[in-house]
Every structure is written in C-alpha cells, then in structure tokens.
Amino acid sequence: MSALREVVRPTTIIEAPRLSHKLGIKLFIASETFQYTGSFKFRAAYNLAANVKADQIITASSGNFGQAVAYACRMLGKSCIIVMPSTSAQVKVDAVREYGGQVDLVDVKQISRADRVEALAREHPEAYVASAYDDPLVIDGNASLAAELMALNRPIDAVIAPVGGGGLTSGLVKGFADAGSGIEVVGAEPLLANDAARSFRAGRLVCNETEPPTIADGARTVSLGDYNWAILKEGLRQIVEVPDEAIKEGVRLLFSLANLKAEPTGALSIGAVLTAPEMFRDRSVCCVVSGGNVDPTVYGEIIRDA
C-alpha cells in the first residue's frame, strides 16, 4: 500500500465554513476531483494494474474507471482496451484516448458490453479482465483513502461516500477496520438506484432490473459486487437513499458554498446530509466528493436552477 500512496495524489481537504453552517454539521470535504483522471477510481485502477501479472487490461467502462485504467496503464507501461458504447459522449472517448487507452466502441443494440469484453478476452487470453468494483485489488486501492483520512488526525465521527457498485465504500470500511479505527462509513445511494439499500433490508444481494435512470451516472450499477457486499453487509453503518433533487442541490451547494465542481455522483454525500439531516446534526462529518467529471451542459443546467 505504501507504494500506492506515493503514486496517487493525496485527497484534497476542503474546509467550507458556510456549507458546514448551512448543513448544521462539522463538515470537511475530502475531494477526489483533483485525483489523477479526476476521480477516486485512479486509486483502484493503479493498484489493480500494478499488481496483476498481465501486461494488458480489458474493462468495460464509459466513465471514470476507463480513464483511470488508461492512465494507470500508461504510467506502468502496460496496455489496455476500454469497451465503451458507441453512443458515449465524444469527450469521454477523447479522455480515454488522451490518457493512452485503446477504445473499443460497441453498438450495444447489437452486442452487450459484457459479451464484447468476453470476446476480447478470448482474443487476448493473457489479458486481465477488470471490474470497476468487484475485485479485492480495487477494494484495497480504495482503502488508501481511509488511510489518508486517518492520517489527518482530526476528529471524524462519520465518512459519507457514494454507493454504486460498492467499491469505494467497501474500501473505506476495510481500510478503517484493518486499522482498528471506529470511524463510521455511511453510504449515499441514489434513491432511483437503491439496490444496496434494498439488499440491506432483504439481507441478501438484490439487483436493479435495468440500469437505473439517476442523474448520478457513476452509481447506475445493477448491483453491488460480491466482494463488496461481503464487506459492506458487516461493516457499513447505514445507507441514505438520496433523491435526484437532493443530488442536484448537493452539486449546487458545492458550487456556491465550497467553490467545488463535483459530478452528480460526487455530490451524493452532501445530498445524503440534506436527505437525513438528523442523522448527522452537529457531528464531525467527512463528505467524500468522489469525482468531478461532468459534461458542461449537464452541469450548466444543474447550477442554473440555483
């Protein structure tokens, strides 16, 4: 892990007194928006790419994980193929390519991304097929954020982080638990994609029927991963189900009271405080802003409603 901590950019700690006051909590923000490739995913991607024997990585990601794998592979002198829907925004395709990744565009009406990854894996039997969340190397990579937060030596009652596939929250839970820390981890999940909350209520892994239509595109996963669920069902303190309106309000508050550009998924933690204020009132809370990559049109529409 020490090697990883020397490579990743330290998380950016942001004090925002006005936002803290507005939310009624003792807030600080751990922003991963200035991490390499603009999201926490680089922690996972680098840890994975550095620790697998394969010199090539294949993954399906139209978002932050694809960019992170591309950049990590470039840094490590490895290659990668990132499978993306042919309908992906050009800026996302460009980003992966600029970071050195090979983009494989698929018409998802003809072939699913998973099937395309499988076909590529047969073509490249030496390659490692990577999941963005359901992999111990991903979880360990994300645990590096927990180590950084503990090293701050400041009082933290709870850390709130977004839940999609569960990679980040399981990394935080594992990181704190391995160090014997009592810091609570609270998940912030879009209400429209609440498979994790439903899994907790059911006591077993529950899947969404289809990709959920939440604005938090980093949390449009169909379910938690198996590795993630095994950790979260034991160690996650609570999940707050955040309506899309509260996610957008989180984006706006980060803009206006913290000068922070966050992608909607990144604002889930603030949205969770807005949704369940009594859970956090007057407590020392670290809101993780997981990433900042958002289309300018989408972002402009959200902040225009301020």
Q: Which is nearer to a copy of itself, 213 or 300 (CB)?
A: 300
Q: Which stretch binds a copy of itself (CB under 8 A): 109-117, 158-166, 272-280, 296-304?
A: 296-304
Strand partners, 242: 190
Return the residues of window 45-104 that contact a copy of itself according to CB under 8 A.
91, 95, 98-99
> Rounded to whole angstroms, what are the CA distances from 215 to 68, 78, 91, 218, 270?
21, 33, 18, 9, 15
Do 55 and 80 contact (CB within 8 A), yes or no? no
Token couple for 174: 């594992």
Minimum CB–partner distance for residue 63 and a copy of itself (Å)? 14
Note whether 148 binds a copy of itself by CB under 8 A.
no
Note whether 36 binds a copy of itself by CB under 8 A.
yes
Note whether 304 binds a copy of itself by CB under 8 A.
yes
Do 291 and 266 contact (CB within 8 A), yes or no? yes
Q: List the one residue from 3, 5, 34, 226 that touches a copy of itself (CB under 8 A).
A: 34
> Rounded to whole angstroms, what are the CA distances from 213 to 12, 49, 152, 161, 221?
30, 31, 37, 20, 10
Q: Which is nearer to a copy of itself, 9 or 154 (CB)?
A: 9
Nearest Cα neighbor of 50 from 30, 33, 73 is 73
Do 16 and 258 contact (CB within 8 A), yes or no? yes
Note whether 17 binds a copy of itself by CB under 8 A.
yes
Q: Which stretch binds a copy of itself (CB under 8 A): 105-113, 187-195, 215-223, 255-263?
A: 255-263
> Rounded to whole angstroms, what are the CA distances from 275 to 24, 126, 288?
13, 46, 16
User: How many Å apart are CA 214 and CA 228, to the nearest integer?
Assistant: 21
User: How many Å apart are CA 192 and CA 211, to the nearest integer?
Assistant: 10
Q: Which stretch binds a copy of itself (CB under 8 A): 49-57, 117-125, 242-250, 259-267?
A: 259-267
Minimum CB–partner distance for residue 303 and a copy of itself (Å)? 4
Size of interface with a copy of itself, in residues (CB under 8 A):
32
Q: List the one residue from 63, 164, 166, 292 that touches a copy of itself (CB under 8 A).
A: 292
Note whether 9 binds a copy of itself by CB under 8 A.
yes
Binding site for a copy of itself (CB under 8 A): 9, 12, 14-15, 17-18, 21, 33-34, 36, 38, 91, 95, 98-99, 252, 255-256, 258-261, 292-293, 296-297, 299-301, 303-304, 306
